[in-house]
């Protein structure tokens, strides 16, 4: 396996990681990324296979699990109950219970509310130049998820700060300060939700928090800690990824001069899928190897790790025709932006709906929208999203 060196926090990489992915692809299905000291793959076939292979998984094997530093205990007190970090049978039980509350049918009913929030935010846009990330892309998903879960709207900015602090744990080049912020946010976030869960048990409402509390299967319910971890997972993943997905989408539509027809009801579904394929918010996922395995000629030993470059897989010429081009009329085909297999993103229907409902409203209300200068991506790898999106 050949090696490549590339700092994930280097300025050129942050602004455009795709040339590095192509360098890796040229070396074969797998290459060694020295900065992570991990084998990586850009191959759509390999990543799809690993995500569906039970010899690989998200949960750290007990023998490899390091002791949790004292300053990170509040963070891992939440993480240890998150289905994102678990495998069957714990994952199966948790996901089954959560899906009884977080149903696609319930999410689909949110479309009019998402459109109304989009109109409200557009009405409040400053005249002239503005940063669309701050005024639209960041606010819309948080308001949607806060209403979905049942968090009062005035508290949404505080919840957003806790969420952003916790997500910092997954970004390259994190510091002790990042860790302390994440742990402090996790502690406050958990206590905040614990109080709300108590209130909902006394006075149920028609919101996701109540439905999570009441979800039951074969006599089992979610514990308070599991409800807290699930709400935080939905808020963190659903908000942070959605902000980047919407921001990246607006940038792509403006840079490519995509015609309005691409956002019309008959075409919006295909356009959203192509936007998610072309510049997704999540670029790298890791998997532990649970048993010796061979994938596309590469051997993996139990106890090792492999990095899956999801965004690179979405531009694999073996899977996509002209993958470097944004083609909104491209025939729909499953991409890997939401992962695959057991850990396929629980919030995928909501993310798709937010884009399909909000983007047509934005471009219908602001048909003359155009970029000011070159948009800049934030230094937040493994996430890829804009630090600002200046428009007029």
Write the pLDDT tens digit of every residue in 102-120.
Answer: 888 888 889 999 999 999 9
How many domains, in total, are found in the chain? 1
Res 239 pLDDT > 90: no
Handedness of CA 5, 10, 14, 18 (dihedral sign): negative
* CATH for 83: 1.10.630.10
Residue 216 binned pLDDT confidence (cut-offs 50, 70, 90) = low
Using alpha carbons, list the distances in angstroms from residue 28 to 32, 55, 297.
11, 22, 10
What average pLDDT does the segment 319-323 reach?
95
Residues, the chain: 392
Domain containing residue 296 = 3-391
Residue 219 binned pLDDT confidence (cut-offs 50, 70, 90) = confident
Write the pLDDT tens digit of every residue in 134-180.
Answer: 999 999 999 999 888 898 888 988 999 999 999 999 898 889 999 99
Write the pLDDT tens digit of every residue in 68-104.
Answer: 999 999 999 999 999 888 999 999 999 988 888 888 8
Write the pLDDT tens digit of every residue in 291-309.
Answer: 999 999 999 999 999 999 9
Tell me, what's the pLDDT at 217?
60
């Amino acid at each position: 396996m050949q090696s490549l060196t590339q700092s994930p926090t280097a300025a050129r990489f942050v602004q455009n990681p795709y040339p590095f992915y192509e360098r890796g692809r040229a070396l074969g299905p797998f290459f060694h990324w020295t900065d992570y000291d991990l084998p990586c793959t850009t191959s759509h076939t390999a990543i799809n296979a690993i995500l569906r292979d039970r010899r690989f998984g998200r949960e750290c094997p007990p023998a490899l699990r390091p002791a949790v530093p004292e300053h990170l205990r509040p963070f891992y007190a939440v993480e240890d109950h998150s289905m994102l970090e678990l495998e069957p049978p714990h994952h199966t039980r948790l996901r089954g219970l959560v899906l009884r509350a977080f149903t696609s049918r319930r999410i689909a009913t949110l479309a009019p509310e998402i459109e109304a929030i989009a109109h409200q935010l557009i009405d409040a846009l400053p005249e002239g130049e503005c940063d669309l990330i701050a005024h639209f892309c960041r606010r819309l998903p948080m308001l949607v998820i806060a209403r979905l879960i049942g968090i009062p709207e005035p508290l949404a900015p505080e919840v957003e700060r806790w969420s952003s602090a916790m997500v910092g744990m997954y970004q390259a080049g994190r510091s002790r300060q990042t860790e302390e912020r994440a742990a402090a946010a996790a502690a406050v976030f958990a206590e905040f939700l614990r109080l709300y869960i108590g209130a909902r048990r006394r006075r149920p409402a028609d919101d996701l928090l109540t439905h999570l509390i009441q979800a039951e299967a074969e006599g089992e319910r979610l514990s308070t800690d599991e409800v807290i971890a699930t709400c935080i997972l939905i808020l963190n993943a659903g908000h942070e990824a959605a902000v980047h997905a919407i921001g990246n989408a607006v940038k792509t539509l403006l840079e490519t001069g995509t015609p309005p027809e691409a956002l019309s009801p008959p075409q919006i579904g295909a356009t959203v899928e192509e936007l998610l394929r072309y510049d997704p918010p999540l670029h790298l996922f890791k998997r532990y190897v649970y048993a010796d395995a061979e994938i596309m000629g590469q051997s993996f030993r139990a106890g090792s790790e492999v990095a899956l470059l999801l965004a690179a897989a979405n531009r694999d010429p073996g899977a996509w025709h002209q993958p470097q081009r944004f083609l909104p009329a491209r025939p729909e085909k499953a991409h890997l932006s939401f992962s695959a297999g057991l850990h396929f993103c629980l919030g995928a229907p909501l993310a798709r709906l937010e884009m399909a409902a909000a983007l047509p409203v934005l471009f219908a209300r602001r048909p003359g929208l155009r970029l000011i200068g070159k948009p800049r991506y934030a230094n937040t790898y493994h996430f890829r999203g804009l630090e600002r999106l200046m428009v007029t």
